[in-house]
Structure 1
Amino acid sequence: WTFAFVLFLMAAIMNSQGATTRAIMPLGFALGLSPLALIAMYPAVNGFALFPINGPAIAACSLDRSGTTTMGKYLIDNPFQIFGTICAVISVSLGFLIVWLL
């Protein structure tokens, strides 16, 4: 889970799933993590919802005519943060469950 947290945080900082995979996954192999565990942790690279820096989140807030979807005034305060984090945790958990069943 620690490595999945690192993947999530690096994806939020790098704002790219591909770049995170290319930069951090070799570290997982070097640490001796099993390939199945790395595959189970792969959904953690969807951490780009943590910070409000990705284009779709900014566009969604800009296009909302009702005014209910707004970016917060703090760095970690956006409407997609909670749901993105919950989705990543559930996806990694299901990945580990599938690996355990195999």
Structure 2
Amino acid sequence: NLNTHNTASLYAAFSAEEARRLAQRLEIHHTPKHGSWLNIAEIELSALKRQCLAGRIDCIERMRTQVQAWNEDRNNRQSQVDWRFTTKDARIKLKRLYPKF
């Protein structure tokens, strides 16, 4: 959600014709600034590090092979994140951020 994540930034970087051409090809989707999707991505990267990349790997091809095998296994098992932070929990923890009427 940076200021560069809109079509106006294209007009600052490119000629009007090129910016218009690029803007017509884009579909911008804004994600939450503090969204749980980021936490899930971090959890997945942490699992990759712990389960696959914990030891020393002496060449890039071996690392690619191991990561690909790990990724296929995760996908085949349909691994999911057990998200436990509920809306109720958020309302309690973040009570100070909610408006008071």
Instruction: Give TM-score scaled by structure 1 length.
Output: 0.30
Of Structure 1 and Structure 2, which has the larger fraction of its residues in helix?
A: 1
Larger radius of gyration: 2
Instruction: Select the structure with the greater relative contact order (CA < 8 A; seq sep ≥ 6).
Output: 1
